[in-house]
Chains A and B, each alone.
Chain A
């Protein structure tokens, strides 16, 4: 052996004279590139079709170009205005000119709508003025505009226009937490009748928490039973968990409507057995109760499956040891068995909680007025009120919450260990 070592050149090289260390490094780098190249197509696909849209939506929650684009000169003049009395005549003159242009380009409705988010009455002010400024050819424009609508004589109107002239705004986020900027520039609470979002966020969290707790309460005994039965029986019973899991969400929501509505089966049954009278049928649908029951049913498998896989790994000898050392059944369960199930409870809870704070379909169908969650309001602003900035801001807040929970989940369970079905 010594001979071989003597004949080897130092440092060790391959046949071609390149040191083995270098060759290894090259080979490793090539492997890393190969692995990255395999991931690249999907990464690019997700980037373009998913991450970019999400980023664009986040940007939309602070984007505010409509005023700056359409009333540029007015804003420039307004920036020199001190905000105390009415702005001087030139401001009115450029405003009239720019209103005429905005009417031509049909942007005037959008300007009015944007300003209306900050101060009610602005949309009708701009629409009305847009129609009438056409005939305005000569000054003085100040009197003429105030004659069209006396609101133009209100310094707050001008202060509001000045305030939303920035291209980046935090006002949608302020609105999403029931705050706004007063014309004087201070952050103040929205008027009482407009304060809905904070309480809705709290309600969403509360309902999600309730659903999570109910899932723990219902999921724990079932998982315990499943993990302690012989394989053959537990596999059969598992079907009862997996079938709902695989059944369409809308199917399950439909059947809850059939069961819970006031002419539904549960009420019929209760009336038939004489538990309640025909005129006192329980109202279990189109309110929070309906939302909670249906969501619990839909999310329960997400609690049972992780809990089951954790309980499956708990060795029965610990509890037996505790019993033989004199612990009563309850102590043995609570002090020995239960702590070992905590990772499963944690994983299941976070999963259920994440899914329920973003829930949309079930509350929209069975929630009625009372059972709506934050997602439903995002959809409302997306589709009906078309206040996309606010929808994006509400969505971003929700997204931030979910991502925090997801990181916690990743810390506890690790995404690699996520199991499906």
Chain B
């Protein structure tokens, strides 16, 4: 979209104004995420830049809020050595929340990836009956507003004795994550060359062997990105945890929720910074997968 040499002055003005507007919109998108990073190193318990921070005074910066992630809720933060570590691992609120988030996220992702991938294999077969209807039902958890899903699951899981248990939250998160797996894996299978499976079969491979040796390696990028979507859904989910989870099931977003509502402290900013780093890592993995997928299919970016 380079500016042609014959552009009129008006076009020139518009060209730069337009880029300026776009720059502002990009700033609107990214600034809130970047701004919290320096703030999380604030030595004062405020949510704004102090004069010391602006003049780059090293004393105005500290790691105290990162330390607080580890120490908040500990019985005896002054202890030394092994005692400190086990105290931190077992009692610190944020550490517990981080452990819960990974634990719940892992199992929810496992369930939704396995079920979602198998279902996607069926859905992308040409002779699947009632395809659109079934697809609509399978991705409905993504469409129904979270508050309704959470309320409905709260009633049901309470009567089944699953409210305030790990299993209840895991099942709820697995349901919410499956649509993403179904969509990404189905999308990967659209470009799948079915003559490969026929070739494998004609050479005598059994269906399971064909699946593990031929189909799975080819759709792995789709499966992994689906799994990442499912994981981030669980990792970021707070409404279902609010309704279904008890104190024992507090995840990172749940802890942030009560942090924002009750005792707002820059510890939240430190946690937020760590979460942004995690999402940068996820984004990188996804991008690499996308490139690998394009390379395998023989498509190169133009």
Determine the residue in chain A with the shortest Cβ distance to B35. Answer: A255
- Find A265's partner among B22, B35, B175, B235 (CB 8 Å cutoff): B35
Nearest Cβ distance between residue A333 and chain B, in whole angstroms?
Answer: 11
- Find A419's partner among B187, B235, B301 (CB 8 Å cutoff): B187
Q: With A361-B239, A378-B147 as given contacts, are A247 and B33 in contact (CB-CB < 8 Å)? A: yes
Nearest Cβ distance between residue A305 and chain B, in whole angstroms?
Answer: 12
Q: For A35, what are the chain B residues with a Cβ–Cβ distance below 8 Å? A: 122-123, 125, 127-129
Within 8 A of B (CB), among A197-235: 218, 221-222, 225, 228-229, 231, 235
CA of A153 to CA of B46 in the docked complex: distance in angstroms? 61
Would you give the 0/1 interface string for A53-74, flagging 1 where the beta carbon is closer than 8 Å to chain B? Answer: 1101100100000000000000
- Find B119's partner among A42, A241, A250, A300 (CB 8 Å cutoff): A42
- Find A247's partner among B25, B149, B154, B275 (CB 8 Å cutoff): B275
Does A225 contact B22, Cβ atoms closer than 8 Å? yes
Does A39 contact B33, Cβ atoms closer than 8 Å? no
CA of A218 to CA of B25 in the docked complex: distance in angstroms? 7
Does A247 contact B276, Cβ atoms closer than 8 Å? yes
CA of A218 to CA of B171 in the docked complex: distance in angstroms? 37
CA of A244 to CA of B143 in the docked complex: distance in angstroms? 21
> Is B225 part of the binding interface, using a Cβ–Cβ cutoff of 8 Å?
yes
Within 8 A of A (CB), among B136-169: 136-141, 143-149, 151-157
Would you give the 0/1 interface string for A384-421, flagging 1 where the beta carbon is closer than 8 Å to chain B? Answer: 00001001100100110011001000100001101111
> Is B43 part of the binding interface, using a Cβ–Cβ cutoff of 8 Å?
no
Does B29 contact A36, Cβ atoms closer than 8 Å? no
Q: With A42-B178, A43-B119, A420-B183 as given contacts, are A379 and B136 in contact (CB-CB < 8 Å)? A: no
> Is A337 part of the binding interface, using a Cβ–Cβ cutoff of 8 Å?
no
Determine the residue in chain B with the shortest Cβ distance to A30. Answer: B127
- Find B35's partner among A259, A378, A420 (CB 8 Å cutoff): A259
Would you give the 0/1 interface string for B32-53, flagging 1 where the beta carbon is closer than 8 Å to chain A? Answer: 1101100100000011110000
> Is B93 part of the binding interface, using a Cβ–Cβ cutoff of 8 Å?
no
What does DSSP make chain B's interface, helix, strand, loop or mixed? helix
Q: For B25, B261, B268, B280, which residue has the most chain A Cβ atoms within 10 angstroms?
A: B25
Within 8 A of A (CB), among B84-132: 111, 115-116, 118-119, 121-123, 125, 127-129, 132
Nearest Cβ distance between residue A402 and chain B, in whole angstroms?
Answer: 6
Contact-residue size bin, chain A (C-beta under 8 Å from the other chain):
35 or more
Q: For A265, what are the chain B residues with a Cβ–Cβ distance below 8 Å? A: 35, 48-49
Does A38 contact B118, Cβ atoms closer than 8 Å? yes
Does A52 contact B156, Cβ atoms closer than 8 Å? yes
Does B260 contact A254, Cβ atoms closer than 8 Å? yes
Does B232 contact A361, Cβ atoms closer than 8 Å? no
Q: For A222, what are the chain B residues with a Cβ–Cβ distance below 8 Å? A: 22, 25-26
Does B276 contact A57, Cβ atoms closer than 8 Å? no
> Is B80 part of the binding interface, using a Cβ–Cβ cutoff of 8 Å?
no
Does A32 contact B127, Cβ atoms closer than 8 Å? yes
Does B21 contact A268, Cβ atoms closer than 8 Å? no
Does B156 contact A53, Cβ atoms closer than 8 Å? yes
Determine the residue in chain A with the shortest Cβ distance to B154. Answer: A382
Does B238 contact A300, Cβ atoms closer than 8 Å? no
Does A43 contact B134, Cβ atoms closer than 8 Å? yes
> Is B60 part of the binding interface, using a Cβ–Cβ cutoff of 8 Å?
no
CA of A46 to CA of B128 in the docked complex: distance in angstroms? 18
Q: With A35-B128, A240-B29, A257-B47 as given contacts, are A415 and B155 in contact (CB-CB < 8 Å)? A: no
Q: For A259, what are the chain B residues with a Cβ–Cβ distance below 8 Å? A: 32, 35
Q: For A248, what are the chain B residues with a Cβ–Cβ distance below 8 Å? A: 235-236, 252-253, 256, 272, 275, 279
Determine the residue in chain A with the shortest Cβ distance to B176. Answer: A50
Does A297 contact B232, Cβ atoms closer than 8 Å? no
Q: For B243, what are the chain A residues with a Cβ–Cβ distance below 8 Å? A: 382-383
- Find B269's partner among A225, A252, A256, A258 (CB 8 Å cutoff): A258
- Find A45's partner among B35, B115, B184 (CB 8 Å cutoff): B115
> Is A9 part of the binding interface, using a Cβ–Cβ cutoff of 8 Å?
no
Q: For A56, A361, A398, which residue has the most chain B Cβ atoms within 10 angstroms?
A: A361
Does B49 contact A268, Cβ atoms closer than 8 Å? yes
Does A231 contact B260, Cβ atoms closer than 8 Å? no
Q: For B36, what are the chain A residues with a Cβ–Cβ distance below 8 Å? A: 251, 254-255, 258
Within 8 A of A (CB), among B166-191: 171-172, 174-175, 178, 180, 182-184, 186-187
> Is B283 part of the binding interface, using a Cβ–Cβ cutoff of 8 Å?
yes
> Is A264 part of the binding interface, using a Cβ–Cβ cutoff of 8 Å?
yes
Does A46 contact B175, Cβ atoms closer than 8 Å? yes
CA of A259 to CA of B157 in the docked complex: distance in angstroms? 39
Does A255 contact B147, Cβ atoms closer than 8 Å? no
CA of A60 to CA of B154 in the docked complex: distance in angstroms? 13
Q: For B65, what are the chain A residues with a Cβ–Cβ distance below 8 Å? A: none
Nearest Cβ distance between residue B169 and chain A, in whole angstroms?
Answer: 12
Does B155 contact A57, Cβ atoms closer than 8 Å? yes
Does A36 contact B128, Cβ atoms closer than 8 Å? yes
Q: For B229, what are the chain A residues with a Cβ–Cβ distance below 8 Å? A: 420-421
Nearest Cβ distance between residue B83 and chain A, in whole angstroms?
Answer: 32
Q: For B29, what are the chain A residues with a Cβ–Cβ distance below 8 Å? A: 240-241, 244, 297, 300-301
Within 8 A of B (CB), among A253-312: 253-259, 261, 263-265, 268, 297, 300-301
CA of A255 to CA of B28 in the docked complex: distance in angstroms? 12
A residues within 8 Å of B by Cβ?
28, 31-32, 34-43, 45-46, 49-54, 56-57, 60, 218, 221-222, 225, 228-229, 231, 235, 237, 239-244, 246-259, 261, 263-265, 268, 297, 300-301, 329, 354, 357-361, 365, 375, 378-379, 382-383, 388, 391-392, 395, 398-399, 402-403, 406, 410, 415-416, 418-421
Other than the given A53-B152, A54-B148, A57-B152, 4 more pairs (CB < 8 A) read A40-B122, A246-B232, A383-B243, A421-B229
Q: List 27 A-B contacts (CB under 8 A).
A: A31-B125, A35-B123, A36-B129, A41-B119, A42-B115, A43-B134, A45-B178, A50-B149, A51-B140, A54-B149, A222-B26, A248-B235, A248-B272, A248-B279, A263-B47, A264-B48, A297-B32, A358-B148, A359-B145, A361-B257, A382-B154, A392-B151, A398-B148, A402-B143, A406-B143, A415-B139, A421-B286
